[in-house]
Each structure stands twice: as C-alpha cells, then as structure tokens.
C-alpha cells in the first residue's frame, strides 16, 4: 500500500442466493486518481460499489478509508465518511425541483429551528433545546433549500441546469447531471460514478471529464465504472478489471491496450469490427406521415416526421439527446399518442390504436429507460420474458396458462441471449439482474418474437463489450431475417456500423439524410447541433432494392 492510498477494500465477499457477486475482492484507490472499474455485465462492479456505499453489507472483508476501518451500515454512514455515489439508475423524485432533490436526505431543519439561525422567531433557548432540535431534524423535509448555492455549484461545473426546474421536466441527460450534482454538493473525498456517461452526449461527457479532472486536482478520488474503453483512455489513471466476481488485475492505463482490457474482461478476444452484409430491401413495414407529438410537458417534440422503413433495413437516427428521439421511439411503438399525422404498419393504418395493437401488428420496442418502460422489476424473469406474448395462445388459454411452456420459453431466451445471474427464471426478479443483463433480457423478449418492425432506443447502452458485439450481430441477423429496424443511438460509431440509412434529428425534425458509405461525420455533427443554415432537408426513402455494403 502506498502512502497515497486513500481507499482499501480487502477480501470483500458478497453473496446472493445462488450467486457469488463479489468473491474476495481487493481494491485500492489512490488520492487524486480516477480509478476505472471494468468488467462484463454481472461481473460484480455495482455490488462492490454498493458495499462501499453502505447499501449492502459484505459477508466478509474490510474497508479502510485513509487508514481508518469503516463499518458502513447505510449510505448515510458512507456519506459521513466522505464517500458519495452516483447510481446507474436515477434515484430522483420527479415532482420535486432539482435543488430540492439535491438537498433531499440532508434533513436540514427549517430556518426557524436552526440553532445558528439569525432572526428566527423562536427564542434561542427553545431553538437550542436538544429535544426541539432532534424533532426538527426528524420532521423537516429540508424545505429551506439554498437554491442559489446549488445553482452556483451547477454553473461552476458547467452543468447547464435550472435548479428550480422540476425533475420530470428534465431529459435523461439533465437528470444524470442532477445526480452528479447531488453527490458533489455533499463534500465528498471519494466519489463513485456508476456509468455516469451512459446518458450523456459526447459533448456533455467531455464537459464532465473536465469537471472530474478539476475535482481530482483538488484531491478528490474517483471510482469510475464504465464499459467504454475510449473513456478509460481519456480520463482514467489506473484500472481494475473484474470477472465473475473476482479481481483479475489492476494496471496503469498507459501500460495496457484496449484489446488487452477487452480480453481481460471477457476472457477472449473481442472483435471491434462488424461485418454488415448487403440485404435486399422488401416492402415498407412502417410508413409514418406528418407525425406530430408532444413531450411530457405538452410541448411539441415532433413537428411533422415522415419516415419509411422497409423490410431488411436499419434506419439509424442520430441526434443530440432531447431532440425528439424519445418521443419518436414511443410514438412508433404506440405508447405515445400522435397529435397529427398517420402511422401505417405493414400497410395498415394503426394511428391512435392501443399499444397492444402495435404489439399484435409485429412491432417490438426496446426502450431507452429499461427500468421504467422495459420491465416490471418486481416480477420474475419468466413473467418479464413472456409478458408480450402470453396472450397469443402459444402458452395455452387464459386463465389456464401452461406454466411449464412459459418457463421453457423464458429459459430459452435466457440461454440464447446469454442473460447471466438468473438462478431460476421463476424466482429471479428482473430487478435483481445487473443493468446489462436486464438489457439483454429485454432485447431477447423483443427480438425472439421475430418482429416486423423493431424500434431499438440505445440498445447497447450500459452493456459490456462482449455483449455489445452480440447485440449488434443480433440486430444484423434480424435485419437479414427481414425485420425493419429503427435504431436510435447516441453512439455515432454504432449508427455508422449498423445503419443502411442515417437520419439526423434536430428539434423534432429530420434535417439531414445520408448513408454510412457517403456520410461525412463533420456534417452529421453539425446537423446534430442545428446545422449551418443550409436548407437541404431529407430526401425521399431510397428507391433501390439493395442496401449499401457495410464499410467496416
Ligand atoms: N439484489 C440482488 N439480488 C440478487 N442477485 C443480485 C442482486 N444484485 C446483483 N445480483 C447479482 O450479482 C451479480 C453481480 O451483479 P452486479 O450488478 O454487481 O454486476 P455489474 O458488474 O455491476 O454489471 P453491469 O455492468 O451489468 O451493471 C449478478 O449476477 C447479479 O445478477
């Protein structure tokens, strides 16, 4: 251990029924470093960090911070010790403001009750009474929110958020920044970031990296969980790789290549290139004409979208988050109403129909927010795997569903899509799966039914390199089988690697169309941020029957 070591985790063991999530893991972090934590989905990263944040108690092992042994029974203990954590899934209260969320949990008594409050209408003797203080602390919701201080903090890190806005008014990227702000607000020495950039745009991520470097310059240590090896190169000093609950190595980033890291993670070589064969295009599976829709705040989010997707075609939608992608995906999947326009699936007009009609018409949907829309966390893997198809007669007639068939179907999905961490499909709940494995389960459910139209919003977000390879190949196979796919992704490389056509969406409209073979990345980047004033708009769908050959 060096004199700079701030955190030492020794022999951490954490077991769940049927799974050893952390198998005697050692981890040490130096003061002022950004320490990357890598590993496949389900390797045990989040569990280890939840132990460190007092959310889980370890079955064995010790944690030392600055030489002092910590006994963490709750996140409050961790925060008191100077450890902050930003989770993979948001833990914000939608109807409260940003500032209220930031102070939430602080339980600061209202001004009148504060012992240091000047001008309180309560006499100091009453205010300072320990019983009054304890009651005020218990019952106050922290409504005295130092909004200006929080706004200053947000501005200082370039977060571009109005802290008086309500959480539900913000897009996912902004909500993520609130989570980070919340941790920064509590003076932490060690900050755990669990895939913090998963929902940020590349520019926002850059800005975050600048902020993180400023923080480490001030002596803060950061543990940074990520699946993106480019991020490891960009900001991480040292990296620890976990595999199947064990530490398989810690190294200085400068001494290992990306391919080395990928191999350490998955235990085999990972192909970064993908082979996209030419596929004959068939009939249109989707025709959207003049589609308009509003967002959750009732503000127009889609301003007249025309989109045709043919059998065997992947249409990639590129754009900076918050430009209508979420609404576009939800409208096409039938879970958001259109305010104008029409939607034809396989030639049939299903505008305004119920979501079930979309499902029955062969539409599959992989939503961006897998916990909110993708699954029922408290239901089993089996229920989640079959929830779209249990009505179609294959599993017997309700109320006499054949549970044996349902179980078998779910087990097939788990096996074919390599969903890990499932001890029994009827007993493991979807909410117990690691983020990436849950994503694989949702993809399995949506793809295995062999849809005519698949809408995939950020399908590889939060999944490991091995699984990304698998998901991309699966999407290409599905395309070959004749499915029309709308791929929404903030990862431009993914759009380039998979798409036959690329559409750039900006402020609810398609502003540019190209193909991977002809694309000019700079132009795409420009169009994504509002363009150069050039009036060129979307051309009609390609008339040729054959897509371009992949360029990779
Ligand atoms: N609350 C829980 N109950 C049961 N099993 C769990 C629970 N939390 C995690 N696990 C299991 O422990 C293992 C490690 O999961 P963990 O979430 O730590 O992985 P991870 O490396 O963070 O994965 P990802 O990159 O997908 O987020 C997985 O097999 C997971 O299914």
Look at 1 and 552; give whichever has higher pLDDT.
1
Which ligand 1 atom lies nearest to the CA of residue 242?
Answer: 21
Mean pLDDT of 178-206: 81
Buried/exposed 22-33: b ≥16 CB within 10 Å, e otherwise? bbebebbbbbbb
- Collapsing DSSP to helix, strand or coil, 17 comes out as coil
Q: Residue 83: its pLDDT value, please?
A: 94
CA distances from 31 to 16, 25, 50, 83, 251 (A): 32, 20, 20, 13, 16
pLDDT at residue 168 in the model: 87
Pairwise CA distance, residues 61 & 26, whole Å: 9
% of the chain residues with pLDDT over 70: 85
pLDDT band, residue 136 (cuts 50/70/90): low
* pLDDT for residue 62: 97
Task: Supply the ipTM of this predicted assembly.
Answer: 0.97
Give, for ligand 1, the residue of 21, 41, 462 to mutate: max count of ligand atoms closer than 8 Å to Cβ: 21
CB atoms near residue 525 (< 10 Å): 15
Helices marked H in 3-74: 45-52
CB of 46 sitting under 6 A from ligand 1: yes
Q: Which carries the bigger pLDDT value, residue 552 or residue 76?
A: 76
User: Higher confidence at residue 9 or residue 418?
Assistant: 9
Task: List the 509-514 sheet strands across, edge first.
Answer: 363-366, 453-457, 484-488, 314-318, 501-506, 509-514
pLDDT at 138 over 60: no
Residue 539 has pLDDT above 70, yes or no: no
The CATH class that applies to domain 5-107+142-266 reads alpha beta
Structure tokens that stand for 281 in this block: 């295009």
Query: Strand 348-349's sheet: what is its strand order?
Result: 300-310, 284-294, 340-345, 348-349
For residue 462, the ligand 1 atom closest to its alpha carbon is 25
How many angstroms does the Cα of residue 81 sit away from the middle of ligand 1? 25
Is the shortest distance between the CB of 406 and ligand 1 below 6 Å?
Answer: no
Percent residues over pLDDT 90 in the chain: 48
Lowest mean pLDDT among 85-94, 229-238, 361-370: 85-94
Radius of gyration of the chain (CA): 25
Contact assessment for residue 312 and residue 279, using Cβ atoms and an 8 Å cutoff: yes
Out of 14, 17, 22, 44, mutate this one to test ligand 1's pocket (max ligand atoms within 8 Å of CB): namely 44
Is the CB–ligand 1 distance for residue 441 below 6 Å? Answer: no
Q: Is the peptide bond before 466 cis (omega within 30 degrees of 0)?
A: no
Each residue's pLDDT tens digit, 455-511: 999 998 878 888 888 899 899 999 999 999 999 998 888 899 999 999 999 999 999
- Ligand 1: distance of its center to the CA of 43 in Å? 7
341 phi/psi in degrees, rounded to 5: 95, 180
Is any atom of ligand 1 closer than 6 Å to the C-beta of 459? no
The dihedrals phi and psi of 185, each to the nearest 5 degrees, come to -65, -30
Q: How far is the CA of 460 from the centre of ligand 1 (A)?
A: 17
> Would you say the CB of residue 109 lies under 6 angstroms from ligand 1?
no
- The domain segmentation of the chain, as residue ranges, is 5-107+142-266, 108-141, 273-362+451-552, 372-450
Give the rounded distance of the alpha carbon of 304 from its chain centre: 28
Distances (CA, A) of 111 to 101, 104, 116, 127, 137: 18, 16, 9, 10, 11
Query: What confidence score (pLDDT) does residue 375 get?
Result: 84
Question: What's phi and psi for 467, nearest 5 deg?
Answer: -70, -35
Determine the distance separating the centroid of ligand 1 and the alpha carbon of 38, expressed in angstroms: 14
pLDDT surpassing 80 at residue 106: no
Q: Check residue 36 and give its pLDDT.
A: 96
Q: Which atom of ligand 1 is nearest to the CA of 44?
A: 18
List the structure tokens of 441: 């389960």
435 CB near ligand 1 (under 6 Å): yes
Q: Residue 461: what pLDDT?
A: 83
Ligand 1 contact, 421 CB (< 6 A): yes
Q: Which CATH architecture has domain 273-362+451-552?
A: 3-Layer(aba) Sandwich (3.40)
Which atom number of ligand 1 is nearest to the Cα of residue 436?
A: 26
Give phi and psi for 75, each to the nearest 5. Answer: -60, -30
Ligand 1 pocket residue status of 272, Cβ below 6 Å: no
pLDDT in tens, 45-97: 999 999 999 999 999 999 999 999 999 999 999 999 999 998 867 788 998 99
Q: Does ligand 1 lie within 6 Å of residue 25's CB atom?
A: no
Does residue 466 have its Cβ closer than 6 Å to ligand 1?
A: no
């Amino acid at each position: 251990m060096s004199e700079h070591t701030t955190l030492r985790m020794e022999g951490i063991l954490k077991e769940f029924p049927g799974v050893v999530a952390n198998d005697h893991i050692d981890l040490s972090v130096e003061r002022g470093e950004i320490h990357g934590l890598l590993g496949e989905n389900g390797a045990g990263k989040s569990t280890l960090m939840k132990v460190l944040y007092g959310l889980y108690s370890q079955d064995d092992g010790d944690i030392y911070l600055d030489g002092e042994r910590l006994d963490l029974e709750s996140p409050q203990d961790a925060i008191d010790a100077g450890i902050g954590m930003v989770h993979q899934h948001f833990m914000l209260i939608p109807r409260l403001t940003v500032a209220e969320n930031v102070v939430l949990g602080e339980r600061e008594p209202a001004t009148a009750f504060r012992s240091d409050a000047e001008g309180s209408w309560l006499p100091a003797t009453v205010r300072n009474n320990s019983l009054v203080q304890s009651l005020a602390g218990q019952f106050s919701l922290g409504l005295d929110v130092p909004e200006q201080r929080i706004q200053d903090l947000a501005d200082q890190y370039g977060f571009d958020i109005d802290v008086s806005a309500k959480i539900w008014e913000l897009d996912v990227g902004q909500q993520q920044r609130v989570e980070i702000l919340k941790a920064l607000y509590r003076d932490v020495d060690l900050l755990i970031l669990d895939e913090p950039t998963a929902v940020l745009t590349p520019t926002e991520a850059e800005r975050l990296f600048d902020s993180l470097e400023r923080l480490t310059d001030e002596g803060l240590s950061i543990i940074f969980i990520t699946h993106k090896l480019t991020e490891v190169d960009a900001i991480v000093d040292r990296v620890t790789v976990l595999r199947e609950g064990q530490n398989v190595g810690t190294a200085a980033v400068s001494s290992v290549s990306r391919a080395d890291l990928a191999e350490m993670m998955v235990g085999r070589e990972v192909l970064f290139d993908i082979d996209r064969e030419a596929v004959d295009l068939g009939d249109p599976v989707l025709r959207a004409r003049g589609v308009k829709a509003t967002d959750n705040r009732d503000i127009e989010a889609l301003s007249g979208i025309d989109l045709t997707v043919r059998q065997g075609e992947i249409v990639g939608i590129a754009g900076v988050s918050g430009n209508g992608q979420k609404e576009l995906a939800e409208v096409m999947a039938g879970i958001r109403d259109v305010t104008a326009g029409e939607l034809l699936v396989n030639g049939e007009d299903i505008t305004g129909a119920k979501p079930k009609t979309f499902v029955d018409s062969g539409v599959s949907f992989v939503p961006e927010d897998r916990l909110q829309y993708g699954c029922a966390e408290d239901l089993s893997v089996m229920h989640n795997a079959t929830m779209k198809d249990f009505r179609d007669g294959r599993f017997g007639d309700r109320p006499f569903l054949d549970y044996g068939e349902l179980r078998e179907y779910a087990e097939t999905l788990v096996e074919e899509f390599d969903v890990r961490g499932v001890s029994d499909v009827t007993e493991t709940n979807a909410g117990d799966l690691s983020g990436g494995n849950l994503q694989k389960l949702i993809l399995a459910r949506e793809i295995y039914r062999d849809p005519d139209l698949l809408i995939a919003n950020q399908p590889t977000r939060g999944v490991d390199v091995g699984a990304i390879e698998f998901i991309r190949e699966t999407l290409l196979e599905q395309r070959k089988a004749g499915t029309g796919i709308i791929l929404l992704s903030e990862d431009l490389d993914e759009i380039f690697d998979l798409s036959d056509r690329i559409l750039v969406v900006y402020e609810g409209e398609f502003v540019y169309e190209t193909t991977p073979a002809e694309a000019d990345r700079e132009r795409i980047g420009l169009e994504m941020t509002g363009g150069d004033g050039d009036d060129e708009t979307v051309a009609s769908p390609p008339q040729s029957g054959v897509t371009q050959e992949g360029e990779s």
